[in-house]
A and B are shown apart, each in its own frame.
Chain A
Amino acid sequence: MNIFSLIRGWVEIPFRFRTLFWGFVRNDIRGRFAGSIGGFVWSLLTPLANLLMYIFVFSVVLKMRLKPMETGTDSFAVYFLAGFLPWTAFVEALNNATDIFLGRVNLITKVAFPLELLPLTGIIVPFSLNALGFVMYLVYLIFKGYFHLAWLWLPVVVVVHMVFSLGLVILISSLSVFLRDIKQFIGVALSLWFFLTPIIYPLSMVPEKMRWIMKLNPMYPFIELYHQVLLHHAITWELLGHSLGLAAISFIGGVLFFGRSKYAFADVL
């Protein structure tokens, strides 16, 4: 099968099987909060608690000062959330990715349905749950006068970011069927990755000599795009091209690996 028909499959399947797709999405969201009293409030409280913790450490204790010329804001909270909220969605998607197929052994070996729906659900759910906090953040920004027409780029950035994450989720979820150690690895990798990405600090604070290393980080262009569009009100073609390229590589890589390995899932599971 060639790559184009594989990609077309990924685009068509959520529409062709929309009842099942929405069923999965609804179940996933409801399943997360089933039996908990706080419900989806937790998905707002968690970033809030993180925010307070980082504000305390970096703004209060370490007295980090942002230069509005470089970051577009002098408020640590505003700067931090612009990168942290998209990052949270990404992390949630990747953390849950290992269980996408492994956690549904019974279903996959007993019922025939398009498996593509599962990684798609794994992307849609964390991104839509985190969209709640993100929209509240945007409203706050509007009140503070940050709104700018450059924000119209935001949907583009989000979609490219989602495609990039989807590729990784597909790869991780299929790989972990064969290599169960991925789960542990992901946990460690993500916490390191967080500090290597300019979220709690602006890139300008990184020594000039080390910045090229930062640019090797695949999450760097995405987080920087959020910063630029939201706070700097500009978009650099270089960053957009960089992230588009990464999204394409990640998605095609994931799709190819899944396309080749999915027939072996039921054997291994």
Chain B
Amino acid sequence: MYAVQAEKLSKRYRVYHRPFDRFKEAITRRPCHQVVRALDDVSFQVPFGDTLGIIGENGAGKSTLLKIMAGTLTPTSGKMVKRGRAAALLELGSGFHPEFTGRENIYLNAALLGLSEREIKEREEAIIEFAELKDVIDRPVKTYSTGMYLRLGFSIAISVNPELLIVDEALSVGDHRFQQKCVDRMIGFRNSNKTIIICTHSLYLINELCAMTIWLRKGRVCRFGKTPKVVSEYLAYLDGGAETDDDTTGSSPADMPYLPEVMIEDVRLLDEKGKRLEQVRQFQTVIIRVKTRRTGPPLKGHLAVGLGQPDGQQIFETTTKISGLEPMEFAGEQVTELVIPSIPISGGHYLARAKVGDEHALRAIDELKSAPFLIESDHPELGIMWIKHYWRPPEVPKIPA
């Protein structure tokens, strides 16, 4: 049994140049439109309790697919079967009436998501609590900031406690702390065996939440499989078709518009025995090996190596200059290694990035990213790294007998 089953979904839009064309076509029965294929033969299944990510460039058909799943759009052909109570967060706070207070808007919005009056009453306080809007809940929502608006919307939707949650990019707004709160709530959701479908540009979020991922490209399923694999293929595609195979080296010189003075040919992760790493255990030794090539007379410069998240967020970077090394002499083919004896970064997907700069580490000469790699962690704590810690709980007050 699947929570969601899509069979050969296709969606074609008719695009009319003028509104009159639609009318003309209805009368004369002669087609006056152009057909746009938003989705083409999309099939997939999501088992109960699974999380599915949907990635793809703008216009790939992600939103169309989500709308069909949410039930606001009807597919041109194909079938979509959902089982269990579904709540869709295609847009937070759609349906809010700006003149009404937050509390009044909770009522209608929750009813829209299918709650009965009694259920709404029961959950009202929890909704306000989660949205952190206790002080302003009786003010009209037109006085709310965008963040408050979104917090209320998310809070209502999550309170429905659906079997199936469909989320569209909704979390990309709001401050970082609330975002994390939403992600935590969704992880809780996933852990209580509910199904989540999430569509986002944040590959970080996809990695965090989803076991399986669909990569949509021009309305078709380009890849469908385990998240790490799909995401790394997608990233490779975004990087301009750079392959992630073992032996290929970045982009070939012939493709470059001009040749950098020093070229980074490869960045890869190795363990202490020199074996290539794709999965890293937290706190293991990691060696980042950077292969450079200089054609022409030797050139002085510095090398920078950093770690980041696939969405571009930097975690750490160091340079040979910061570390107090003399400028390196680039000549011919060379290998530089950065050794990290114990990597404290939390579980998730990351990549390494190397940069060559000039003698003063001012001008960047070349730059290359490694293939994404996975860090596996035994620590359940949140955040991007693990920090040594222990608790001092309050003392239990003694109650006099």
Interface stretch, picked from A24-32, A74-82, A191-199, is A24-32
Instruction: Convert B221-253 into 0s and 1s, putting 1 for each residue whose CB lies closer than 8 angstroms to a CB of A.
Output: 000000000000000000000000000000000
Check A35–B99 contact: CB distance below 8 A. Answer: yes
Within 231-269 of A, Cβ neighbours of B (below 8 Å) are at: 263-264, 266-267
Cβ-based interface call for A68 (8 A): no
Separation in Å of the B304 CB from the closest CB of chain A? Answer: 44
Check A34–B72 contact: CB distance below 8 A. Answer: no
Check B90–A110 contact: CB distance below 8 A. Answer: yes
Write out the residue numbers on chain B whose beta carbons fall within 8 Å of the beta carbon of A180. 19
Check B120–A27 contact: CB distance below 8 A. Answer: no
Check B108–A112 contact: CB distance below 8 A. Answer: no
Q: How far is the CA of A108 from the CA of B72 in the complex (A)?
A: 7
Write out the residue numbers on chain B whose beta carbons fall within 8 Å of the beta carbon of A112. 70-72, 88
Instruction: Convert B104-116 into 0s and 1s, putting 1 for each residue whose CB lies closer than 8 angstroms to a CB of A.
Output: 1001100111011
Write out the residue numbers on chain B whose beta carbons fall within 8 Å of the beta carbon of A179. 19, 23
Instruction: Convert B61-92 into 0s and 1s, putting 1 for each residue whose CB lies closer than 8 angstroms to a CB of A.
Output: 00000010011111000000000000010110
Write out the residue numbers on chain A whose beta carbons fall within 8 Å of the beta carbon of B22. 178
Known: A23-B108, A35-B99. A111 touches B115 (CB 8 A): no
Write out the residue numbers on chain B whose beta carbons fall within 8 Å of the beta carbon of A110. 70, 72, 88, 90-91, 94-95
Q: Which of B71, B74, B112 is the most central at the interface, judged by chain A CB atoms within 10 Å of its CB?
A: B112
- Identify B112's interface contact among A20, A109, A263, A267, CB under 8 A: A20
Write out the residue numbers on chain A whose beta carbons fall within 8 Å of the beta carbon of B90. 109-111
Q: How far is the CA of A113 from the CA of B87 in the complex (A)?
A: 11
Check A266–B97 contact: CB distance below 8 A. Answer: no
Write out the residue numbers on chain B whose beta carbons fall within 8 Å of the beta carbon of A107. 94-95, 112
Cβ-based interface call for A204 (8 A): no
Q: Is the interface of A mostly helix, strand, loop or mixed?
A: helix
Check B97–A111 contact: CB distance below 8 A. Answer: no
Write out the residue numbers on chain A whose beta carbons fall within 8 Å of the beta carbon of B329. none
Check B99–A31 contact: CB distance below 8 A. Answer: yes
Write out the residue numbers on chain B whose beta carbons fall within 8 Å of the beta carbon of A27. 97, 100, 104, 108
Separation in Å of the B264 CB from the closest CB of chain A? Answer: 45
Within 1-47 of A, Cβ neighbours of B (below 8 Å) are at: 17, 19-20, 23-24, 27, 30-31, 34-35
Write out the residue numbers on chain A whose beta carbons fall within 8 Å of the beta carbon of B72. 108-112, 266
Cβ-based interface call for A106 (8 A): yes
Check B67–A111 contact: CB distance below 8 A. Answer: no
Determine the residue in chain B with the shortest Cβ distance to A263. Answer: B74
Q: How far is the CA of A107 from the CA of B99 in the complex (A)?
A: 16
Number of B residues contacting the other chain (C-beta, 8 Å)? 29
Check B100–A30 contact: CB distance below 8 A. Answer: yes
Check A266–B73 contact: CB distance below 8 A. Answer: yes
Cβ-based interface call for B117 (8 A): yes
Cβ-based interface call for B13 (8 A): yes
Check A111–B95 contact: CB distance below 8 A. Answer: yes
Check B100–A267 contact: CB distance below 8 A. Answer: no
Within 78-94 of A, Cβ neighbours of B (below 8 Å) are at: none
Write out the residue numbers on chain B whose beta carbons fall within 8 Å of the beta carbon of A24. 108
Separation in Å of the B67 CB from the closest CB of chain A? Answer: 7
Write out the residue numbers on chain B whose beta carbons fall within 8 Å of the beta carbon of A266. 67, 72-74
Write out the residue numbers on chain A whose beta carbons fall within 8 Å of the beta carbon of B111. 17, 19-20, 23
Check B67–A109 contact: CB distance below 8 A. Answer: yes
Determine the residue in chain B with the shortest Cβ distance to A178. Answer: B22
Check B23–A19 contact: CB distance below 8 A. Answer: no
Q: How far is the CA of A180 from the CA of B19 in the complex (A)?
A: 9
Q: Which of B70, B108, B113, B120 is the most central at the interface, judged by chain A CB atoms within 10 Å of its CB?
A: B108
Within 214-243 of A, Cβ neighbours of B (below 8 Å) are at: none
Separation in Å of the A100 CB from the closest CB of chain B? Answer: 14
Separation in Å of the A120 CB from the closest CB of chain B? Answer: 15
Q: How far is the CA of A109 from the CA of B66 in the complex (A)?
A: 11
Check B13–A34 contact: CB distance below 8 A. Answer: no
Separation in Å of the A254 CB from the closest CB of chain B? Answer: 18
Instruction: Convert A145-178 into 0s and 1s, putting 1 for each residue whose CB lies closer than 8 angstroms to a CB of B.
Output: 0000000000000000000000000000000001
Check A111–B88 contact: CB distance below 8 A. Answer: yes
Check B113–A19 contact: CB distance below 8 A. Answer: no
Q: How far is the CA of A112 from the CA of B73 in the complex (A)?
A: 9
Q: How far is the CA of A97 from the CA of B121 in the complex (A)?
A: 32
Separation in Å of the A213 CB from the closest CB of chain B? Answer: 29
Check B99–A106 contact: CB distance below 8 A. Answer: no
Q: How far is the CA of A107 from the CA of B153 in the complex (A)?
A: 13
Q: How far is the CA of A97 from the CA of B104 in the complex (A)?
A: 24
Q: How far is the CA of A107 from the CA of B94 in the complex (A)?
A: 6
Check B107–A23 contact: CB distance below 8 A. Answer: yes
Write out the residue numbers on chain A whose beta carbons fall within 8 Å of the beta carbon of B70. 110-112
Write out the residue numbers on chain A whose beta carbons fall within 8 Å of the beta carbon of B73. 109, 266-267
Determine the residue in chain A with the shortest Cβ distance to B13. Answer: A267
Write out the residue numbers on chain B whose beta carbons fall within 8 Å of the beta carbon of A263. 74
Separation in Å of the B55 CB from the closest CB of chain A? Answer: 21
Q: How far is the CA of A211 from the CA of B154 in the complex (A)?
A: 61
Write out the residue numbers on chain B whose beta carbons fall within 8 Å of the beta carbon of A23. 107-108, 111-112
Q: Which of B67, B95, B115 is the most central at the interface, judged by chain A CB atoms within 10 Å of its CB?
A: B95
Determine the residue in chain B with the shortest Cβ distance to A106. Answer: B94
Separation in Å of the A155 CB from the closest CB of chain B? Answer: 27
Determine the residue in chain B with the shortest Cβ distance to A262. Answer: B74
Q: How far is the CA of A110 from the CA of B115 in the complex (A)?
A: 17
Separation in Å of the B185 CB from the closest CB of chain A? Answer: 20
Q: Can you name 8 A-B pairs with beta carbons within 8 Å?
A: A19-B116, A23-B107, A34-B99, A107-B112, A109-B73, A111-B90, A180-B19, A267-B73
Q: Contacts A20-B108, A263-B74 given; 17 further ones with Cβ under 8 A?
A: A19-B111, A19-B115, A19-B116, A19-B117, A23-B107, A23-B111, A27-B97, A27-B104, A31-B97, A34-B97, A106-B91, A106-B94, A108-B72, A109-B67, A110-B90, A111-B88, A113-B112
Closest 10 CB pairs of A and B: A112-B71, A34-B99, A20-B111, A263-B74, A23-B108, A110-B94, A110-B90, A23-B111, A110-B91, A19-B111
